[in-house]
Amino acid sequence: MTGLFKRAHGGGAQLTLDPVEASILRSLMVQMLELIGPGPGEDAPEDPLAALFAEGPTKPPADPALARLFPDAYAEGPEAGELSSEFRRFTENDLRARKRDDAVAVVRAIDDAEEDRKGRAVVRLDPDGCRRTLGALNDLRLTLGSRLDVSEDDDSLYALPDEDPRKPMVMAYLWLGGLQESLLETMF
């Protein structure tokens, strides 16, 4: 049923989605945007100059999916916790902003898609859009993977009965993997 990314004439990539797929992909990206949010800097001062100098969070996010997107930078040694906090304080806000920008770029590309004769959305990406979409698809898979508790040793997720409530998310996770793989093939 599903279309995959194809190399576009003149560079970039192109993806044809039926309206349901386009709406699922868009809605998953929007949900991830809500999850990432502005982050703990939310209560940053209104003054843009003060916001510029506002420091980022020092603790890892409590949500496991966010903790995966924004992991600790130091894992070993007695000072790992302190060094990770310091690193996080100076990097996490930038990282959140970048991941948000990438997801927003995908939402825009879907919104800007042209409709073909069969009513399908033709999403076109320039090389920069490809790079952003690749990152956003990966972030989305990490998010769903964390929610589903995906592991390398347990493939029972891929044989769930239809009535299992996790089934739709597993289908989406696998679909996104196929999209990401096909996008990579066009870029590489």
Partner 1 sequence: MSVAPVEIERTEAESAPFEVPDPDVPWVTIVHNDPVNLMTYVVYVFQTYFGYPKEKARQLMLDVHHKGRATVSSGTREEMERDVQAMHGFGLWATLQHDK
Q: Which two tokens stand for residue 174?
A: 């696998």
CA distances from 76 to 14, 49, 79, 83 (A): 43, 36, 8, 10
Residue 142 within binding range of partner 1, rule CB under 8 A: yes
Out of 44, 138, 175, 186, the only residue in the binding site for partner 1 (CB under 8 A) is 138
Q: Which is nearer to partner 1, 50 or 75 (CB)?
A: 75
127 binds partner 1 (CB under 8 A): no
**Minimum distance from residue 178 beta carbon to partner 1 (Å):** 10
Which residues ranging from 143 to 172 are in contact with partner 1 (CB under 8 A)?
Answer: 145-146, 150-152
Residues 26-85 that bind partner 1 (CB under 8 A): 68-77
Dmax (CA) of the chain:
62
CA–CA gap between residue 99 and residue 95 (Å, rounded): 6
Looking at the Cβ atoms of 18 and 87, the one nearer to partner 1 is: 87
| Number of residues this chain uses to bind partner 1 (CB under 8 A) | 33
Note whether 91 binds partner 1 by CB under 8 A: yes
Residue 188 touches partner 1, criterion: CB under 8 A: yes
Residues 5 to 34 in contact with partner 1, rule: CB under 8 A: none
Question: Which residue number, 121 or 157, has a Cβ lying nearer to partner 1?
Answer: 157
Q: Residue numbers of the site for partner 1 (CB under 8 A)?
A: 68-77, 87, 91, 95, 98-99, 134-135, 138-139, 141-142, 145-146, 150-152, 177, 180-181, 184-185, 187-188
